[in-house]
């Protein structure tokens, strides 16, 4: 690789302590969405902008999505631009999200989730990996380019979005709806550092359809000693749960080696409380299915299968069954494994980490799906342990520094 990349990489290696301090500053700002009981991302967006201006980035635009529930009445999105050398190359976009999830069960943390704790190469705290690994790595890239006086081969655009954890209505969806023409172009390289393997070998180019179904079974409540006077909704719901678990996997059984896991998944998950006492026959029972469906199947086909078994249970037990979608996202068109961003990222990962990365599909949903649905090739990549959303979430400092070097490689190609 050229001398500029070697200089940028060497400079990034000197930023270890600065990376910790940025993580410390951002972690202390709980940017939790109002949907999850927080006040939003405004304070964190202000902090990121202060850091950017402090390292010499002055082309920064903030695009606010109105939300009266949030601090300041807005959900902020930031775009920071570092001019490139031109030459007909598309821009490099690195898109991270500002919001985090709550700490969850505080008793399972071994330290304060909102105060960074450093243990060797591990930095602990809520959000340090999801998605501050992406935020901090892109800031490391920006600082290295400016400190070294390097003009990148292509314009570098750092995009920090709101609302990723609860649907992206105020984040990338808002931007694509209001700023689409000012954002991406077909020849841009778009990287979302929000998922990956510990060795960095996974480049996510496709996602399964996602549907979270809420299924409500309604019967007639009565005393458990006189079950003939009621209709036990719990019994009917239990039968329906088992039937769906068996038949959905059988009906949609094909596999695709591009995806990990290679098959569609249908998992019964949450159940809502039904009755307070053991001696009461439940008149209502509510349960949920998390469905991740290969793109070769439609969600309409899955819904039809759920409805077919629901009607059978209604007829057998005398209950009524209602299906609702808590979340429903059909699979977006995949990014081609031959897209320029995939090839460029493969070369960058090989140069930095010495491994061969492969284009793959995932069961989980990311904001890249919205970008692909808008017609732009995007990939999800990072080298991470994926401790996100767990107690004692951590990020590895070698990953923060290494990912910044990968981004520098992309910027300088």
Single out the catalytic residue among 130, 164, 285, 305.
Answer: 164
Angstrom distance (rounded) from CA 161 to CA 138: 13
99 catalytic residue (yes or no): yes
Angstrom distance (rounded) from CA 164 to CA 153: 30
Q: With b meaning 16 or more CB within 10 Å and e meaning fewer, what string describes 298-321? A: ebeebbebbeebbeebbeebebbb
Q: Are β-strands 284-293 and 358-362 bridged in parallel, bridged antiparallel, or unpaired?
A: unpaired
The stretches of 59-168 forming alpha helices (DSSP H) are 132-147
| Kind plus residue range of the DSSP H or E element containing 408 | helix 397-412
The stretches of 148-277 forming alpha helices (DSSP H) are 172-178, 233-251
Angstrom distance (rounded) from CA 276 to CA 282: 9
Q: How far does the chain reach from its first CA to its final CA, in angstroms?
A: 9
Q: With b meaning 16 or more CB within 10 Å and e meaning fewer, what string describes 343-382? A: ebbbbbbeebbeeebebbbbbebbbbbbbbbbebbbbbbb
164 catalytic residue (yes or no): yes
Angstrom distance (rounded) from CA 38 to CA 293: 31
Angle at 371 between CA 290 and CA 160, to 5 degrees: 95
**Reduced DSSP (H G I as helix, E B as strand, rest coil) percent helix, strand, coil of the chain, to 5:** 35, 25, 40
Q: Where are the beta strands (DSSP E) in 162-283?
A: 189-192, 202-207, 209-218, 222-223, 259-260, 265-271, 280-281
| 311 close to 320: Cβ distance less than 8 angstroms | no
Check residue 257 and report its DSSP letter: T
Single out the catalytic residue among 41, 49, 99, 194.
Answer: 99
Angstrom distance (rounded) from CA 295 to CA 264: 9
Largest CA distance in the chain: 83
Phi, psi values for residue 141, rounded to 5° = -60, -50
Question: Which residues are catalytic, by number?
Answer: 99, 164
């Amino acid at each position: 690789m050229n001398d500029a990349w070697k200089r940028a990489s060497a400079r990034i290696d000197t930023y270890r302590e600065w990376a910790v301090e940025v993580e410390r500053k951002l972690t202390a700002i709980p940017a939790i969405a109002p949907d999850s009981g927080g006040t939003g991302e405004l304070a964190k967006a202000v902090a990121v902008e202060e850091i950017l201006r402090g390292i010499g980035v002055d082309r920064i635009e903030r695009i606010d999505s109105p939300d009266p529930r949030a601090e300041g009445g807005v959900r902020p999105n930031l775009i920071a631009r570092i001019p490139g050398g031109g030459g007909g190359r598309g821009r490099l976009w690195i898109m991270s999200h500002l919001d985090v999830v709550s700490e969850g069960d505080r008793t399972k943390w071994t330290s304060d989730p909102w105060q960074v704790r450093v243990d060797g190469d591990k930095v602990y705290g809520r959000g340090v990996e999801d998605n501050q690994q992406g935020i901090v790595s892109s800031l490391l890239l920006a600082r290295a380019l400016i400190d070294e006086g390097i003009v990148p081969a292509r314009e570098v655009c750092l995009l920090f979005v709101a609302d990723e954890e609860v649907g992206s209505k105020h984040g990338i969806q808002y931007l694509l709806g209001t700023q689409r023409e000012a954002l991406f172009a077909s020849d841009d390289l778009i990287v979302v550092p929000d998922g990956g393997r510990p060795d960095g070998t996974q480049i996510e180019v496709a996602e399964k359809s996602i549907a979270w179904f809420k299924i409500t079974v309604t019967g007639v409540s009565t005393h458990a000693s006189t079950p003939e006077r009621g209709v036990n909704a719990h019994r009917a719901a239990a039968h329906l749960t088992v039937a769906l678990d068996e038949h959905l996997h059988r009906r949609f059984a094909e596999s695709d080696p591009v995806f990990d896991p290679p098959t569609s998944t249908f998992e019964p998950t949450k159940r809502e409380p039904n009755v307070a006492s053991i001696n009461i026959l439940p008149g209502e029972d509510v349960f949920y299915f998390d469905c991740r469906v290969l793109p070769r199947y439609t969600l309409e086909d899955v819904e039809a299968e759920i409805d077919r078994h629901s009607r059978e249970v209604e007829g057998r037990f005398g209950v009524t069954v209602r299906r609702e979608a808590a979340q429903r996202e059909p699979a977006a068109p995949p990014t081609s494994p031959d897209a320029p961003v995939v090839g460029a990222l493969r070369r960058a990962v090989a140069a930095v980490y010495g491994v061969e990365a492969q284009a793959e599909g995932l069961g989980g949903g990311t904001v890249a799906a919205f970008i692909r649905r808008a017609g732009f090739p995007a990939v999800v990549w990072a080298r991470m342990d994926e401790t996100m959303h767990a107690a004692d979430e951590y990020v590895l400092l070698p990953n923060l520094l290494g990912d910044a070097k990968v981004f520098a490689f992309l910027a300088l190609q």
